[in-house]
Each structure stands twice: as C-alpha cells, then as structure tokens.
Amino acid sequence: MADPLTLFTSIGLSEQKAKETLKNDALCSALKDAIAQAQRVLGVAGVDKATGTLLYTMASRLRDPKRLGFLTDHIAQRKICTELQLAAALEFVKSHPQDPINQQEFESLCGVGVVITPEQIEDKVEKVIKKHKDQLLQERYRFNMGLLMGEARGGLMWADGKMIKNEVDMQVLHLLGPKTEADLEKKPKAQKAKAPDGEVKVKEELTMNGELKIEGRTLMDELRGVALNFHKPGENYKTEGYVVTPKTMDLLKQHLEFTGGQIRTRFPPEPNGILHIGHAKAINFNFGYAKANDGICYLRYDDTNPEKEEEKYFTAIKDMVEWLGYKPYEITHASDNFQRLYDLAVDLIRRGHAYVCHQRGEELKGHNPPPSPWRERPAEESLVLFDRMRRGLFAEGEATLRMKIVMEDGKMDPVAYRIKYTAHHRTGDAWCIYPTYDYTHCLCDSIENITHSLCTKEFQARRSSYFWLCNALDVYCPVQWEYGRLNLTYTVVSKRKIIKLVEEGTVRDWDDPRLFTLTALRRRGFPSEAINNFCAKVGVTVAQATMEPHMLESCVRDVLNDHAPRAMAVLEPLKVTITNLPEGIRNDVRVPDFPANEFMGSHVVPFTRTIFIEQSDFREVMEKGYKRLTPDQPVGLRHAGYVISVQKVIKDAQGRVVELEVHCCSSHEAAEKPKAFIHWVSEPQKCEIRLYERLFLHKNPEDPSEVPGGFLSDINPNSLQVIDSALVDISVSKAKVFDKFQFERVGYFALDPDSTADKLVFNRTVTLKEDPGKM
C-alpha cells in the first residue's frame, strides 16, 4: 500500500485534509482499513473519488468501529452512494448497537437500491409549484423557496438535493421570469409576537459572543427545542461519545421502566459557598429544561468535602433556587448515598478497575505526575487496604483509592476516595473517607436516574471518566452535556477570592451588594425576574459568555420600570420655606404609583409650608442650559401643581446656601410654563442611602496582564458612598425588607435588611438610565 499521504490524496482528499487526517491516529487507522477493504471488494488497487469521499465521511463520523467493515462493503458495492444515504446508515448503526443487524430493515431505511430519475424530480417539482402557484405569483421571490424544496424532497427522499434545487430554480424562473427591482427590496418586518405568560422573550440582538438571538423565541422555546441536540430519554446511546456495552440496552430498558420516559435533571452545587450569577444560568438551565419538557429536577447538594461545608450555605442555596422561581422535585445529598458509593467502590476494586495508592498529594500535582508504583497491586490487597482506610487505620494523605483511567486532559488515575478526619455536617463521625467529585457525581446521577446531566464546559474533560465509571460498574449511565459558562466583567466569583475580600474588610460579607453573588444581588434589589431574563438573553449556548454588567442592569431596569412604585426622596436636602402659605397648613397631594398607568394605584404625601428639594436643583448663578431653580428662574413641583420662585437666599457663616424662601402659585396661574419640574418632600422620614459603583476598576481584575498587582490591588475606592441624612416621603414608611421603589429622578432603590423602625436604609439598585461613561 502507498504511503498514507499519497493514499489519502488518491481518494480525493486535499493535501491539507490528508495531513490533518494523519494527525488523528484513530481516524487515520480507520480510513486506511476502510480503503483496504474497499479495494478487496472492488478487486482493484484504487478507489474512485466519489467512493473515497464517502469512506472518509464514514470513517470520521462512525463511533462504533465494529461497523466499519459492514458500512464499507455497502459503499464499495454502490449500495450506499450518496451523503444522504450514508447519514441514514450512520444513524441506523448508532441506534442499533446490538448484533445482528437486520439487513432488510437497514437497506429499507437507507434507501439501498432506490433510483430517482430526473423525470421523477421534474414531475414532483411541477406538482409542488402548481400547488403554491397563486401564492408564488403574489409574493414572487419573497416566497419561502425552502418550502418548495422541502415538499419536493418529501416525495423523493433519496434524490440528489442539488438536482432538486436546480429543478426548483428553473421552474420558478419559468413561472415568474427574472427578478425585478421590487423583488430585491427588503421584506417588511413581521409583527412582533407576544410570549406566553411567565416566559421570557428574547429580543433579536447580538450577544457578547456574536450569537444571534431571534425575536419571539423564549428561553423555554429554546429549552423545548433542545437547542444542544439533546437525546430523548432512553436513547442515551445515540449521543456522540457514549460507550455502549453488552448491558447498556438492558440498563436503559430498566431506566425507562422506572422513569416512564420522563426527563430528569439535577442542580448539584457544593454547599461551601454562596451561589453567584453564573449559577443563575445553571439553575435556569437545569430547572428550566425539566420544566419546559414536563420533567423533574432535583436540588442535590454535592456534600463530599466536610471541611468546607456549613449549614448557612445549604440554607442559602435552597433560598436562592426558590427565589429564582423554581421548586425542586426533591432535595437530596450526595451523602445520602455514602454507603452505596462505598459498596460500589469495593465492587470496582474487585473488578480490577481501582487500587489503593500511597503517593502523596504533592506527587500527584501537575500535568504529568509519575505513574503510581501501586497501579498493578492485586485486587485482594487493595480490598484489605481500602477497608483499613474505612476503619481509620491510615493517616490523612497516607492512602487514596484511585481509578484506572486516563482522562481527556491527560490526568491519569483520578482519586476516588481520600481520608479526612473531619466530622460531616450530616453523617457526623460515621465516615473518615470521602468520595471525590470524579467518583461521586456520575454515580449519584445514575442512582437518581438522571436523563441529562447538564454541567458547564470545564467539566468536558471529565466526560470520559463519567461514562467509564458507570460502565465499569455495569450501572445505568446517564449522558453528560456541557454548556457555556456565564461570566461577568468587573467582578470575581471565586469562593476563595470572595472570602479574601471579606477577610480583608473590602466587603462586609457574601451578600455585600457590590458582589455578584445571588444573595448580594437580591440585597441590592435586583428582581429575580430580571436575572432570569438576563439568562434568557444569554441563551442556550455551548460557547462561554462573558457579559458586561450594564447588560444585566438593563434587564433590571426593564422589570423595575414596570413593577417598582414611585416615591420621592431627596439625597442632599435643601430647606425651602414657602412664605405665602400660612403656618400649620397641610394639604394632601396624591402621587400615582405608576405615572404611565394611574389605574395601578397611588399614595398620598403631605404638602406644607416647609419642603425640601435637592441641593443640585438650585443654583445661585444662572448658567446656560440650566433649567431648574435660580433667583431668576421659577421651577415646577412634581405632582403638587405649584410653581415656586425664589425671594430670598439664606446662607450660613461659611457662605453656604442653607435655606430658600420662595413664593408659590398654581401652575395654572404662572406667567409661563416652567422649564422643569423637580421632586420634593415634606414632613419626610430621615433615611440612610447607600450608593454603589463597581467594586473593581478594571474589566478583568483577575488578569495579571491587566492588573499586575492582583485583584486586591484593583479595588475601586469609590465603590460605596453612604448618605446618612437623606429624606424620603412617608409613603415608604411601612416598606418591608427588599421592597423596591423608583425614587423619582434619582434611581431605583430597595430596602436593606439593616433597616430599623427608627431608620430606614436603602440600597441603590441601579440608576434610572445607563451611564454612558461605563464602558
């Protein structure tokens, strides 16, 4: 046989494609075997390019090597001679992993022996054109030609697609004639469709990854549409990379009998920290996919590391899941299965797939740790040693149980069990050995009959060990699917780094409103709907998404604009005395909660001789473009129906303006309409206002090239401003913690848990409009 490069180019591959193939050992070997067999079938030394192209496609897409000869025979004998037939053949062998293959069923489903003549194509297209003739004549070239193609192909399944397209183009041209200028004009936009209640509509826009989100498609639509090409329950074996064993089909049958074909997902956080904005996408994805497809989703705590787990984290995680609007089907724990996991580990040793190792932790670090000298230790010896580990007869780090597998990232023999003399939150001192994520996760998925194990992209390197371990123990094997992680700029979400920020006193705790933990966002006043809407905008994508905070803040404004009632607050008060109102007068002014829709309610605030306005709403010297109050320029008072004019400016010993004396008149009596209407308060309640800015100065505070001194050196000194002498109208006096308001002309605010009966504390959630300087 010729050298591989020459061989591959001889069957029609370009030199570049042939060189790429040579770099892939598995593909190279499969293609050489296929060519050799095809030559034997044909009885010639060469293979024509049409056959060679099909052989390459087959070798590159075939996941079950034992079917290579079977498909090669059909290609060489010209029984499979189109890409369409080959695609059907590959799908058939993937969905029929067990022997023997039903030859008659295979050939029927792959169109073997079916010949479609040009005359048949012409007749079929003619019938389709005739069916849609009136609409074609009306819409001309704006008509969806794909519809014609689809209907024509429907009756000619194994026809050459190019031949059908050419025939459609020719007959349409014959009917309509050449395109005119009118045909080339853009099609008018269709009317926007409303999303069903409770579902988040995704607008047409480019995400940070350049992916297009289509108007009218909701997150639930995407999840129902299995955007990542998920398998159906029980059809796990159709997933790329899934390993089929002699017991797979029986185990899947048992799985289907137990679940009834229901979709089952799980959200499996570690209870060693607070959930952050990235987890919000995971929650929406796991719970949302189950909800969209009438399935169930577990909240499963991955509690296998007792050193870092605390009760407050278990509680906070559950609270955040429910805050985002999801109710777990059941709350479970990895620790529920500690005994079963231990028994399975014993079975794994007996099968020769695991061994007790004495290499220290430092020896196992890095990408190329030395192979364990205990890898071939007899199973009987490992069983004895594993039992001694269980009974606490080794020191921490003196022994581990390792699995005999090499993972995608080159990590060899990952640890399954390690020794930790730490009491567990739930099981106390019952165990001194604890399973690792690599061992626990897939087995808990199997035990709970999970259909789709959804995880972020960094776990892709664990997929092979996931499949391997389930198959090594002959238990039901779910499918792990990876999706893109959601990240935000100008923040850190690492638990270790957040703890460092707390320890350094940079932030108060995990729920400090400058962080992007979910508890912090709730405390700041972000509505859960806005976070879910943001996740919907990011969409179901395999690519990692790194978004700007202002995109999340935009979602927040959209929700609060519709749901946060209006109130008036003055952050830097300036006293105003209305001299032409008598002492003791008190009028009630009705203020709409939502000015755009007065039917949504209102509240009453007092209007007296003394009011307070913002200091910035008065200037002693008139400046060009300034439209608010000056000695020469009156201003209107929002909702009150009055216009005030300055009579006297009162200053303190330092020359600062401390009070204004003004005259008021009805806005109907004013000589001219004022250029602006400002907000005010009267008989107000004193409160504390906390204004937040970004915690970090740079977009990527963890990037050494951007912040050489590390993230702690990048703290924004102006990330928090506290105003302790602000005034707010009495309509908010009975607000509850986390209640949200729009303080007119100031921003959106939420009541903080630090509030007391004597002093309300408000966090600014977001400004009314995006600051164009924040890029």
Burial of 688 (0-12, 13-18, 19+ CB in 10 A): middle
For residue 328, the tally of other CB atoms under 10 A from its CB is 18
**Angle at alpha carbon of residue 300, lines to 297 and 302, rounded to 5°:** 150
Q: Can you read off the two tokens belonging to residue 425?
A: 């939150």
Residue 287, Cβ density class (10 Å: 0-12 exposed, 13-18 middle, ≥19 buried): buried
Cα-based torsion angle of the residue sequence 561, 567, 571, 576 in order, rounded to the nearest 10 degrees: 140
Q: Is 495 one of the catalytic residues?
A: yes
DSSP designation for 736: P
Q: Do you know the residue count of the chain?
A: 775
Q: Which of 414, 480, 416, 403 is nearest to 446 (CA)?
A: 480
CB 209 within 8 A of CB 170: no
Tokens of 764: 């600014």
Under DSSP, is residue 267 helix (H, G, I), strand (E, B) or coil? strand
CB-CB neighbours of 267 under 10 Å: 23
Specify the DSSP element, H or E, that contains 691.
Answer: strand 685-692
Q: Which of 764, 745, 736, 755 is nearest to 566 (CA)?
A: 745
Among residues 435, 446, 441, 436, which one has the least CA distance to residue 474? 446
Count CB neighbours of 210 within 10 A: 7
Tokens for 275? 């959930």
497 vs 500: CA distance, rounded Å: 5
In the chain, the largest separation of any two C-alpha atoms, in whole Å, equals 114
- Among residues 122, 199, 235, 270, the one annotated as catalytic is 270
User: CA 519, CA 736: separation in Å to the nearest integer?
Assistant: 17
- 3-state SS assignment for residue 573: strand
Tokens 């302790």, located at residue: 724
3-state SS class at 746 = coil
Measured CA to CA, the distance from residue 136 to residue 171 in angstroms comes to 12
Q: Of 224, 318, 485, 575, which is the active-site residue?
A: 485
Contact 695, 716 (CB under 8 A): yes
In sign, the C-alpha dihedral spanning 154, 156, 161, 164 is: negative
Beta bridge mates, 589: 605
Within 10 Å of residue 381's Cβ, how many Cβ atoms? 13
* Annotated active-site residue in 79, 142, 420, 495: 495
Kindly report whether the peptide bond that precedes residue 100 is cis, defined as omega within 30 degrees of 0. yes
Report the C-alpha gap between 731 and 736 in whole angstroms.
Answer: 12
User: Which conformational region is residue 666 in: left (phi greater than 0), alpha (psi within -120 to 50 degrees), or beta?
Assistant: beta
User: 510: exposed, middle or buried (C-beta count within 10 Å: 0-12, 13-18, 19+)?
Assistant: buried
Return the SS3 of 22. Answer: helix
Question: Three-state secondary structure along 358-390?
Answer: CCCHHHHCCCCCCCCCCCCCCHHHHHHHHHHHH
Active site positions, annotated: 270, 485, 495
